[in-house]
Structure 1
Amino acid sequence: MSLLTGRVRVSLSAAALAVSVLTSLPALAAEKIVIIVGGMEKQIYLPAVLTERLGYFKDEGLDVELINSRAGVEAENELLAGAVQGVVGFYDHTIDLQSKGKYIESIVQFSQAPGEVELVSTKQAANTKSFADLKGKTLGVTGLGSSTDFLTQYLCQRAGLKAGDYTLLPVGAGNTFVAAVKQDQIAAGMTTEPTIGRMLKTGEASILVDMRTPEATEAALGGPYPAASFYVQSSWLAKHRDDATKLANAFVRTLRFIATHSAEEIAEKMPADYYQGDKALYVKGLAEGKAQFTPDGRMPKNGPETVLKVLAAFNKNIQGKPVDLAKTYTTDFVDASR
């Protein structure tokens, strides 16, 4: 054997050893992405938990932790503080925050309607036929500065009421909302499924304004109202486009699942405690509101303009200020999703 041949064999052996060592090492763990949801049990935010339950985050190689919040405004504050990387909340926060000099972007649009209903207490129903009849009343919202706050103020303003004509009370959702109605703390309030179905079944409340479908939303607000979305800080997005791409892939896959499966099939994938002891009622609410979800994660046409119009009607932070809607959302990631 020549010296050259020996050197080649040694080199090949070293290369083989290196490959063996590298392939035996465990794969580097993905960096954890924490997403806060403005109420994981609410059906309007169902795509977040459903994505996790279907295993789509893992399919993308993502390590995602979902944490719960009482209201979207609380989730928004956690995002701005840097405590989380993303939020599942209402798109309208992107516009509200831009008016305050803070930039966040929706990268996947979950819904094209709020999925919200203004419920009026049965004790008040006989004398309440429209928002104009709520003058002098206390109205429930999930939190001050929340999307239910925004929508309530707009509907009051549209009915001719001024800010001092009513009082807003943060009552959360679910059991706390139900308790506020039962204890006469609020005459009416805005909430979502499954709380809607629960209160209608017991007869403790009736529907005053329904915004669970695109058609009903257009009648109430004058156009499509993109609501539930996945948004992040623009500064984070600029540095984590690969993660954003994977998250968009996972969420869009879930929205396609929702579009092609029945309410019963979707409910089967959700945690049983979300049914609140009545699975049939949960399925009924989901069937009635399933049309709120987009089939592909894209922003509905003219949706941002409707949201801006709604907020500008009462929000002094927005009135008279230029808002660049192009910086409140992007379709780049859903357009490129598999």
Structure 2
Amino acid sequence: MRPTFRAFRHIALASSLLFGIASQHAMADDSGKITIMVGGITKLIYLPARLTEQLGYFKDEGLDVELLSQPAGVDAENELLAGAVQGVVGFYDHTIDLQTKGKEVKAIVVFGQVPGEVEMVSTKSADAIKSMADVKGKTLGVTGLGSSTSFLTQYLAGQHGIQSTEYTMLPVGADASFIAAIKQNRIDAGMTTEPTVSALEKSGEAKVLVDMRSVEGTKAALGGTYPASSLYVQAAWADAHKAQAAKLAHAFVRTMQFIHTHSAEEIAAKMPDDYQKDKTLYVSALKASLPMYTADGKMPADGPATVLKVLSAFNPSVKGKHVDLSKTYTNEFVSAK
């Protein structure tokens, strides 16, 4: 019996040591670096990510945060699922799409109560395309196939009875690559954000066709608010790192309050110079974007249902599937004191 007892004692001791190491590792994770992938860090829809860093709010919370940039949100999502990053600043709709694929991801801070997206039409095509009812046979630019812009594009066209097979969607990215696609006549129209919108308007190369930078414009286009830019994480990470999640949320909520209590000029002054090569244009674009930001980081009450409606219409992963919207976001961390 003694060898058996001794063996059990060794097993218990080993288990205790392993538990202690695991606990230490978990605590180390809580105080270690957090890497966040941003779906295009210079886009104004994602401005809160860099602004929070510039204001020093991450450091105020005792956090070591690294921001990386990935032009398409769908690619940033893949980095999260692979465990390469702890969070993504991207569109909330990814959390719905991923739930239907058995992945639990939730938004813990909402930056944009509306998409901040604008369907721009090339000036050369403006006479032929007066609204989304005129896109049949045209080539429409999106950031990437399967991206949020592709589903929004399909929804806007679908409202006019135009099927996705009746036009071409071309992935052209954002910023300079989107502008190049317009200039080179590779697309007739396309969906993009600020400051690209203001740059194209200033150069006279494109005009606004559908404006989703404000609540009013978004409700007219989509029938309700459409929470978009947000910080989302894997649910398991949030459950295991509640202290970190709450600190992250608090840092971002401070930024949202800063945005709502300062002018576009004051906000722009906090941003890096390389984000605003044309400062006048940048401030103008920021002024046009201010209505889209939430004041408190919370999910708009009617938002998730609007997003689900859009995705259910054109996302094959979501169409006909049951989605528990309560698991796609939480206000727990932005409400924590």
Give the TM-score of the pair, scaled to structure 1.
Answer: 0.90
Structural mapping, 1:127-138, within 5 Å: 127-138=128-139
Aligned match of 1:218: 219
Aligned match of 1:285: 285
The Cα of 1:28 is off from its aligned counterpart by 11
Aligned-partner SS, 2:77: helix
Aligned match of 1:169: 170
Aligned match of 1:36: 37
CA distance 1:73–1:29, change in 2 (3 Å)? closer
Q: Does 1:331 align with 2:323?
A: no
Q: Does 1:151 align with 2:157?
A: no
Aligned match of 1:76: 77
Query: One-letter code of the match for 1:278?
Result: D
CA distance 1:29–1:148, change in 2 (3 Å)? closer
Aligned-partner SS, 1:168: strand
Aligned-partner SS, 1:300: coil
Structural mapping, 1:217-296, within 5 Å: 217-275=218-276, 277-296=277-296
Aligned-partner SS, 1:197: helix
Structural mapping, 1:1-16, within 5 Å: none
Structural mapping, 1:56-71, within 5 Å: 56-71=57-72
Q: Following the alignment from structure 2 to structure 1, what is the Cα–Cα distance between the partners of residues 139 and 257?
A: 40
CA distance 1:29–1:132, change in 2 (3 Å)? closer
Structure 2: gaps of 5 or more residues: 1-27
Aligned match of 2:6: none
Q: Following the alignment from structure 1 to structure 2, what is the Cα–Cα distance between the partners of residues 152 and 286?
A: 23
Aligned match of 1:11: none
**Is the CA contact (8 Å cut-off) linking 2:30 and 2:244 kept in structure 1?**
no
Aligned match of 2:104: 103
Q: Following the alignment from structure 2 to structure 1, what is the Cα–Cα distance between the partners of residues 232 and 120?
A: 28
**Is the CA contact (8 Å cut-off) linking 2:30 and 2:241 kept in structure 1?**
no
The Cα of 1:316 is off from its aligned counterpart by 2.3
Q: Following the alignment from structure 1 to structure 2, what is the Cα–Cα distance between the partners of residues 309 and 165?
A: 22
Q: Following the alignment from structure 2 to structure 1, what is the Cα–Cα distance between the partners of residues 284 and 307?
A: 28
Provide, for residues 66-85 of structure 1, a one-character-per-residue CA deviation record: whole Å limited to 9, x for no partner: 00111111110100110000
Q: Which runs of 4+ in 1 moved over 4 A?
A: none
Query: One-letter code of the match for 1:293?
Result: Y
Q: Following the alignment from structure 1 to structure 2, what is the Cα–Cα distance between the partners of residues 326 and 218?
A: 22
234-243 or 58-67, which moves further after superposition? Answer: 234-243
Aligned-partner SS, 1:45: helix
Provide, for residues 282-301 of structure 1, a one-character-per-residue CA deviation record: whole Å limited to 9, x for no partner: 11111111010000000011
CA distance 1:314–1:28, change in 2 (3 Å)? closer
CA distance 1:283–1:238, change in 2 (3 Å)? same
Aligned-partner SS, 1:89: strand
Q: Following the alignment from structure 1 to structure 2, what is the Cα–Cα distance between the partners of residues 317 and 193?
A: 29
Root-mean-square deviation over aligned CA pairs: 1.3
Q: Following the alignment from structure 2 to structure 1, what is the Cα–Cα distance between the partners of residues 30 and 231?
A: 24
* Identity across the alignment (%): 65
The Cα of 1:314 is off from its aligned counterpart by 1.4
Give the TM-score of the pair, scaled to structure 2.
Answer: 0.90
Aligned-partner SS, 2:299: coil
The alignment of Structure 1 onto Structure 2 pairs a total of residues equal to: 310
The Cα of 1:29 is off from its aligned counterpart by 9.8
